[in-house]
Amino acid sequence: MTTQIDRRRLLAAGGLLGAITLLPSAAFAAAQTDKRLVFLIQRGAADGLAIVPPVGDPALASLRGALRDDAPIPLDGMFGLHPEMQATAGLFAAGEARAFHAVATAYRDRSHFDGQNVLESGAAAPYGLRTGWLGRLLPLLPGENEALALAPAVPLALRGNQQVATYSPNRLPDASQDLLLRLGDLYAADAQLAPMWAEAIKTKELAGDLAGNDGRNGGDLGKLAASLLAPADGARVMMIETGGWDTHSNQKGRLAGQLRGLDRLLAELKAGLGAAWSETLVIVATEFGRTAAVNGTQGTDHGTASAAFLLGGALGKGQPVVADWPGLSHDSLFEGRDLKPTADLGGVISGALGHHYGIDRTALAGLFATA
């Protein structure tokens, strides 16, 4: 009984929900369709020139110097894949992965917050829309849809007219490890709260450090995502937030760890989904790219165009890398420093969604202002 009273007090104070909010950096929404959709955002501006290096571009070596990886995995005659993405390379070989290079939103400045706002809202400029493209997509999907966010607040990409519940509406910052352990003991005897707490703790550990534990955190996050997507009554639309892509210094080692985690996340997601992988589309995108040249601290700075991935068993045939390649010579760079964008990221995503759900492109016109 004491446990129940203590728990009520914590609930009244926002303690339980607040502590859980420390945990997940993932959000999902359920939809009545067999199709699965995962949007994985790389917060921090992932370096597309390192992830999908244009090895056939003669200017790459002089621009990247020591940051250039010696053994990229060949994708075609022009592009390779970062060597830490071995499992993803297998998806490319099976026709279940495709990269779109030199893509960008309409945003041309270098603020992470503004860039992520444009990517998630689908607007032509920062703060031009209060809803997100995923939130506006949900009403277009078959059946009655309900949404749930496993995050302190519903991510902008999922906001729309359709209700989205939050798993952790309050926030309790800086909860100590001791408090988390004591709360775990408190809920241990509760058949409903104990597994929720354990899952929340696990999500906190995984989502906060994709590269941690030699990339195994990413694999465990992929398992968790698959466990929520695979059941017949599970989530059908999910957003996964990953951080740690802002590599201003010592990029080579840091990015390798991030990509090792991403590679394991994707591999475990496919393995956990089993047959449902054939009904799944995964979109991986970042707010903007990074500078073409290396900076003084062996990193790169905020840039413009980058690379995005589409993956899944429902992807269909196509070339491994789609790009209207602008080149990396000085005169070809955007403002003399960045990979020049030659394709609209919103158009890439809209096209993929239309193919995946069999929705006419005109019905998706409201998702992205520039698509």
Give 104's strand partners: 344
* 145 confidence band (pLDDT: 50, 70, 90): low
Instruction: Establish if 311 belongs to a structural domain.
Output: yes
Q: Is residue 9 part of a domain?
A: no
Q: Is the dihedral of CA 323, 317, 255, 353 positive or negative?
A: positive
Residue 134 in domain: yes
What's the mean pLDDT in 25-51?
83
d(CA 124, CA 115) in angstroms, rounded, equals 11
- Alpha carbon distance 77, 64 (integer Å): 19
Element (H, E) at 41: strand 36-42
Tracing tokens 């398992």 back to the chain, one arrives at: 223
The residue among 183, 207, 151 whose CA lies nearest residue 16 is 183
- Do 199 and 218 lie in one domain? The reply is no
165 and 178 part of one domain: no
pLDDT at residue 235, as a whole number: 81
Residue at a domain's end among 184, 213, 242: 213
Lowest mean pLDDT among 88-97, 157-166, 192-201: 192-201
The pTM score is 0.83
Q: Are 116 and 287 in contact (CB under 8 A)?
A: yes
| Claim to verify: residue 157 and residue 92 sit in the same structural domain | yes
Task: Tell me the per-residue pLDDT of 83-129, one tens digit each, with 9 for 90 and over.
Answer: 999 999 999 999 999 999 999 999 999 999 999 999 999 999 999 99
Question: Do 206 and 231 reside in the same domain of the chain?
Answer: no
Q: Could you give the number of structural domains in the chain?
A: 2
Alpha helices in the chain (DSSP H): 2-12, 15-21, 48-51, 60-64, 86-93, 112-121, 133-137, 177-187, 193-207, 216-229, 251-273, 345-357
Spatial distance between the Cα atoms of 254 and 245, rounded to a whole number of angstroms: 8
Note whether 233 and 335 are same-domain residues: yes
Asked whether residue 21 is assigned to any structural domain, the reply reads no
Q: Which of 289, 292, 324, 266 is nearest to 91 (CA)?
A: 266
Domain-ending residue, one of 213, 246, 274: 213
When the pLDDT of each residue in the chain is averaged and rounded to a whole number, the result is 84
Predicted confidence at residue 328, as pLDDT, reads: 98
Alpha carbon distance 157, 67 (integer Å): 33
Regarding whether 200 and 228 lie in a shared domain, the answer is no
> 45 and 184: one domain?
no
pLDDT 10s digits, 303-340: 999 999 999 998 888 999 999 999 999 999 999 999 99
Lowest mean pLDDT among 38-42, 78-82, 333-337: 38-42
DSSP 247-293: -SSSHHHHHHHHHHHHHHHHHHHHHHHGGGGGGEEEEEEES--BBSS
At residue 178, the pLDDT reads 65
Same domain, 266 and 243: yes
- Judge contact between 225 and 236, C-beta under 8 A: no
Report d(CA 166, CA 306) in Å as an integer.
31
Kindly state whether residues 257 and 341 are assigned to the same domain: yes
Mean pLDDT is lowest, of 149-163, 233-247, 285-299, 305-319, for: 149-163
Containing structural domain, residue 178: 171-213
CB-CB contact of 220 with 269 (8 Å): no
- Is 228 inside a domain boundary? yes
Alpha-carbon torsion angle 345, 49, 246, 204, nearest 10: 70
Over range 352-359, report the average pLDDT.
93
Confidence of residue 202 (pLDDT cuts 50, 70, 90): low
Q: Looking at residue 16, what is its pLDDT? A: 35
Q: Does 199 reside within a domain?
A: yes
pLDDT tens digits for range 261-277: 999 999 999 999 999 99
Residues 88 and 148 reside in one and the same domain? yes
Same domain, 179 and 327: no
Task: Evaluate if residue 137 carries a pLDDT over 90.
Answer: yes
Judge whether 329 and 59 are in contact, CB under 8 Å. yes
SS3 358: coil
CB 300 within 8 A of CB 247: yes
Q: Give the CATH number of the domain where residue 93 resides.
A: 3.40.720
The domain boundary residue, chosen from 189, 213, 237: 213
Task: With beta carbons less than 8 A apart as the criterion, state whether 29 and 179 touch.
Answer: no
22 pLDDT tier (thresholds 50, 70, 90): very low
Q: Do 48 and 188 sit in the same domain of this protein?
A: no
Enter the tokens of residue 262. 């991403």
Is 56 domain-assigned? Answer: yes
What lies within 8 Å, CB to CB, of 124 at 6+ separation is 106, 118, 369, 370
Q: Would residue 203 count as lying in a domain?
A: yes
